[in-house]
Structure 1
């Protein structure tokens, strides 16, 4: 079957609060005049394989129903390809969707995808392409974390208890206990910067983690990546700075530096990078901005 809409849905996204959303989304997407195929997957890897198979079978569009993690999985199949991509925001964090102008209301987002597909129009947005220490390639839409937040994610993923958001909160406390500035070498378009820091991130979009505006001026259509790092802060100042991330006002702190580049390389010992909240792998990592890499339907 060709010329269909492939839907990758995460029923547990947003802690299940949109669990009954899918039938309405499918009905709305069907008004574009294409068959709608719901992809089945039991893991993130299976989700990516299902999306790639759908694109290979001639899908007119791939639609991610969920949060940034679901978007991240689907992007691996559509980045740099002549296939439309739609997002129905239904996650705890919908940072990519927010940055590219997708409506907050899931049904309005689905209806917009159908209209765009029916009218044959799309919007081009940049994506970030990564290359790891062993040459593995990935794409991300929002933010790559390579500092304290990456350490917290890595610890939380190793923990079995407690369940839910409490595990992440505990991981923060445990990482604060062992907090130390690490030595980084960051190369921006060939210019090398060496510094000690606890916060390092690269952004194609402004926010991550459900509205944490780590790079408040990042624009996913300017052909550039924003890079942020902060001078060593210590536990107390780091915790004081954290609430300001929600507003993006942390960049006014004189200890915080924001730069822009097309090509970024980050190297440090003992850090596993996370992009769109998903594990990439240990540093070093190279990141490139690829202008217009995704054809967004909205």
Structure 2
């Protein structure tokens, strides 16, 4: 039996970029799969229902056009149903695509995906899990999750520059908070500004907050910034996009397969760029939880 695929399109992703390329993507996919169904949805609930119907009909691959929020929904479905994920990035950050070496431009990504489908190329990556929710990139809390929240609310500018504007705005509200990071590799109790638990390296549209994170080693990379003053963060910011922030004395890094963040200090955790839940929480790295095309 040949490959049965579904194409999930979130038309609003990338300010309409997903909708604009969807016809081209569908046409190209029909050349390399035996059956293609379409799941065009404007809401998360609608998307999940369309994916479920595709799974009931028999499905090997789910191709998602969109940004990290769209990929996050695709990851939930694929991890739970044993379906491989195909990625065509068309969003603002595209951090999962970046981490997995998928071309950032949709048409180039489509060429890569079509070739991989034709060759039957698959690989498995780890995922993080909090309760019943999976994440593929980075779980963060503190200053960076506040930046995420503000960036998501901004209408201007577009692209990664939104995160830069949000960083400047949130600096004025910066307040360290007590944090316990309890892991299978040790326990830290400190005043903290932010914590990032990375399955992959990137968040915020290409910021390598956990620069050495490898989604196939069965471990999270954790980056913790202590009770940094605003001037410390201002010194850190220029180094973030190069990954050199981990050399700053206020930054601690570690690796672990299980991470608990507590107490309930008013921080809300974000994962894959979307709000997840307030602290406290525990997340576990699940080895080989997701199959990816390519």
Q: State TM-score, norm by structure 2.
A: 0.89
Where does residue 175 of structure 1 map in the other structure?
Answer: 170
Contact 2:9 2:65 in 1 (8 A): yes
Alignment pair present for 1:98 and 2:98: yes
Where does residue 121 of structure 2 map in the other structure?
Answer: 121
How far apart in 1 are the matches of 2:56 and 2:187?
Answer: 40
Q: CA deviation at 1:172?
A: 4.4
Where does residue 271 of structure 1 map in the other structure?
Answer: 267
Contact 2:218 2:285 in 1 (8 A): yes
Where does residue 87 of structure 1 map in the other structure?
Answer: 87
How far apart in 1 are the matches of 2:171 and 2:45?
Answer: 32
Q: Deviations over 1:91-144 (max 9, x none)?
A: 12111112112223322322333343343331111111112xxxxx21111111
How far apart in 1 are the matches of 2:232 and 2:189?
Answer: 22
How far apart in 2 are the matches of 1:153 and 1:107?
Answer: 28
Contact 1:263 1:288 in 2 (8 A): yes
Alignment pair present for 1:20 and 2:20: yes
Residues 246, 171 of structure 1: CA spacing in aligned structure 2 closer, same or farther, 3 A cutoff?
closer
Where does residue 155 of structure 2 map in the other structure?
Answer: 163
Where does residue 191 of structure 2 map in the other structure?
Answer: 196
Report matched runs for 1:56-95 at 5 Å. Answer: 56-79=56-79, 81-95=81-95
Structure 2, unaligned stretches of length 5 or more? Answer: none
Q: CA deviation at 1:243?
A: 2.3
The 10-residue stretch of structure 1 (208-217 or 80-89) with the greater mean CA deviation from structure 2:
80-89
How far apart in 1 are the matches of 2:49 and 2:267?
Answer: 27
Where does residue 187 of structure 1 map in the other structure?
Answer: 182
How far apart in 1 are the matches of 2:163 and 2:256?
Answer: 31
Q: CA deviation at 1:183?
A: 0.5
Where does residue 47 of structure 1 map in the other structure?
Answer: 47
Report matched runs for 1:205-284 at 5 Å. Answer: 205-268=200-263, 269-284=265-280
Equivalent position SS for 1:27 = helix
How far apart in 1 are the matches of 2:48 and 2:7?
Answer: 12
Where does residue 141 of structure 1 map in the other structure?
Answer: 136
Among 272, 281, 285, which residue is 1:289 paired with? 285
How far apart in 1 are the matches of 2:97 and 2:26?
Answer: 19
How far apart in 1 are the matches of 2:85 and 2:173?
Answer: 41
Q: CA deviation at 1:18?
A: 5.4
How far apart in 1 are the matches of 2:14 and 2:150?
Answer: 21
How far apart in 1 are the matches of 2:278 and 2:8?
Answer: 28
Contact 1:215 1:226 in 2 (8 A): yes
Contact 2:11 2:40 in 1 (8 A): no
Q: CA deviation at 1:173?
A: 5.0
Contact 1:224 1:289 in 2 (8 A): yes
How far apart in 2 are the matches of 1:102 and 1:171?
Answer: 27
Where does residue 31 of structure 2 map in the other structure?
Answer: 31
The 10-residue stretch of structure 1 (85-94 or 109-118) with the greater mean CA deviation from structure 2:
109-118
How far apart in 2 are the matches of 1:19 and 1:42?
Answer: 11
Alignment size in residue pairs = 289
How far apart in 1 are the matches of 2:37 and 2:238?
Answer: 42
Q: CA deviation at 1:151?
A: 2.1
Structure 1, unaligned stretches of length 5 or more? Answer: 132-136
How far apart in 1 are the matches of 2:166 and 2:94?
Answer: 22
